[in-house]
Structure 1
Amino acid sequence: MELLLQKVGEDVLPGVVIICGGSFRRGKASCGDLDIIITHPDGKSHRGFLSKYVKRLKDMKFLREDLVFSAHGKEGTNHGVDTYFGLCTYPGRELRHRIDFKVFPRDIYAFGLIAWTGNDVLNRRLRLLAESKGFRLDDTGLFPATHSSGGKWGTRASASLKFETEKEVFDFLGFPWLEPHERNL
């Protein structure tokens, strides 16, 4: 599956990075859905990729139904993350499976990998740890948080801290590094 998705991605945009995340990346024996995390190393070619990629996968009859398609383009909302949720079929089969694509700009890709690899228990622990240190963590970054009038952590600041890798995020938070297969907490 990952090879098929990578090959089609390379046909659409040479150099694109496509990772099957979620339970697949964590090495689980079965996967309820497929979480696909995408970027391009140059930091800009990912823009507009998702619509071409989805079209190509539909033409191949791999993608069968759309659930959500949200392209934020160059300067849109959600830090330029494009999203597609749909249903796919494995080649030669009719049973449909949920598939989610998230296309991240290169500068926030590490956060997308962490969030979309999971698991949910680890993500919650990392968010709480970040909050205890005065930050807000989500799939688009690690942001200094502001205090609300009641003394609680409020909204996040607009600019995220920059990290190239998942390990750098773990290290900054002081959380022991876990390889993806170790994240089934």
Structure 2
Amino acid sequence: HPKRDQLLTKTQQLGLKYLEEFEQKIPREEMTQMETILVREITAIDDQLKAEIVGSYRRGAKASSDIDVLVTHSSATKLPSLLHKIVDILTKKVQFVTDTISIGDSKFMGVCQLDSSKLHRRIDIRVFPSEQYHCALLYFTGNDQLNRHMRIVAQEQGYKLNEYSIQKVGSTGVL
């Protein structure tokens, strides 16, 4: 409906467009196929890149509600155009990404589809410098309850833990 579309944001329009597909869980087998494509295409850009699906998939779940991907480079500390390059390849070269919700220097939110016979799925790709990757891996593997518990334990011992670093409270350096 054209008038309704003018009132909705792009994110809302995509949410409505794919609502029934997004409500269905992604079977682990499909996630594994997606991981193969993502790792192949991302490491083809630079063999020093590492890509990993995190969240419930990394925790071993049989199904997931979306795909969360972490990317890092073994030596680069600044990766300004990397995410745009990854999304461009996943969109144009392999037609895996079908829609972009938002994209910045380090976070992409969008829609992907394994092939035309499969459902559209929500995908988030986050790029982290190598010195932040392990904290990001821990944080984005989760789950939320574990993350809260780890932050409390860290705080009790005088540390601050988040997806970027673990630091002694009051310190500016990363451990």
Q: Is the partner of 2:57 in helix, strand or coil? A: helix
TM-score, structure 1 as length reference: 0.71
- Correspondence list, 1:103-182, <5 A: 103-146=127-170, 157-161=171-175
Q: Give aligned-pair identity as a percent.
A: 28
- What does the per-residue CA deviation read over 1:121-165, in whole Å, with 9 as the maximum and x for residues that have no partner? 11111011111112211100012224xxxxxxxxxx43221xxxx
**1:100 offset after TM fit, Å?**
0.8
**Larger helix proportion of the pair:** 2
- Let me know the Cα RMSD of the aligned residues: 1.6
1:88 paired residue number: 112
Taking the aligned partners of 1:144 and 1:45, their CA distance within structure 2 comes to 24
Structure 2 runs not aligned, ≥5 long = 1-33
Q: Which position in structure 2 is the counterpart of 1:18?
A: 51
Match 2:125 to one of 98, 101, 104:
101
- Cα–Cα, structure 1 residues 4 and 11, in superposed 2: closer, same or farther, change >3 Å? same
Q: CA 1:45 to 1:8, structure 2 compared with 1: closer, same or farther past 3 Å?
A: farther
Question: What's the CA shift string for 1:92-121, capped at 9, x where partnerless?
Answer: 335221111111111111001001111111
Matched, 1:70 2:84: no
**What corresponds to 2:66 in structure 1?**
33
Distance 1:104 1:134 in 2: 25
Structure 1 gap ranges (5+): 72-81, 147-156, 162-185
TM-score, with normalisation over the residues of structure 2?
0.75
CA positional deviation for 1:42: 1.6
Q: Which amino acid aligns with 2:52?
A: I
In the alignment, which residue of structure 2 is the partner of 1:49?
82
**Cα 1:135–1:44 shift into 2, 3 Å:** closer
Deviation at 1:2, TM superposition (A): 1.0
Q: Deviation at 1:47?
A: 4.2
